[in-house]
Amino acid sequence: MSNMNKFLVLVLIVAILFIGINLRKKSSSEILQTISADVTTQPQQNKLASQENEGGNVTVIVKPKNLKVGEKPEFEVTFETHSVDLNFDVSQVSNLSDDKGYLLATPIWEGSPPGGHHRKGSLTFNSPLTETEYVELVILNVAGVKERKFNWGL
């Protein structure tokens, strides 16, 4: 056996010992609890997480408040900027669609009026949500950005 092969075998043995020692530090029940926690809680926590879109010196943050089938979809929407006047009607530039192409338009905006650099409010669509795999909220023409898309799987 050449010196190179002996060296490689030695490195392999050291690596196996290192892995074995590290695996022993966690019991099998701890490993299963960690895997179980990741699988069961992670998707539920992030399913309706807020999403952010930046462009044209404006940051738009959208957090779903209600995306239940049979109920009116509702979102918390925040617009932040330091250089652009947010002078638009949020209800006129927003629409919601689903995986079947069903489009909900002209929602109700309850929040900050047009103007200024910081706006926040609730955007509620007039029709109840039907059975769907996902929804996509689109906000049009804010600060020169043609479309800002926000998607959530249901």
Structural domain harbouring 83: 51-153
pLDDT of residue 40: 36
- What are 83-124's pLDDT values in tens digits? 999 999 999 999 999 999 999 998 999 999 999 999 999 999
pLDDT of residue 34: 42
pLDDT confidence of 46, banded at 50, 70, 90?
A: low
Q: b/e map of 103-139 (b: 16 or more CB within 10 Å)?
A: ebeebebeebeeeeeebebbbbbeeebeeeeebebbb
Is pLDDT larger for residue 19 or for residue 42?
Answer: 19
Which domain-ending residue is among 46, 64, 79?
A: 46
Q: Is the pLDDT of residue 35 over 60?
A: no
Most confident of 7-11, 17-21, 25-29, 104-108: 104-108
Tell me the percentage of the chain whose pLDDT exceeds 70. Answer: 77
Locus of tokens 């530090």: 25
Indicate the number of domains in the chain: 2
Same domain, 100 and 148: yes
Same domain, 62 and 8: no
Locus of tokens 């999403």: 51
Same domain, 95 and 76: yes
Same domain, 58 and 101: yes
Sheet containing 108-111: which strands, arranged edge to edge?
51-55, 58-66, 74-81, 118-124, 108-111
pLDDT of residue 128: 95
N residues, the chain: 154
pLDDT of residue 9: 72
Least confident of 37-41, 61-65, 133-137: 37-41
User: Mean of the pLDDT values across residues 42-59?
Assistant: 82
What span, in angstroms and rounded, lies between the C-alpha atoms of 5 and 109?
A: 72
Q: Is the pLDDT of residue 154 over 60?
A: yes
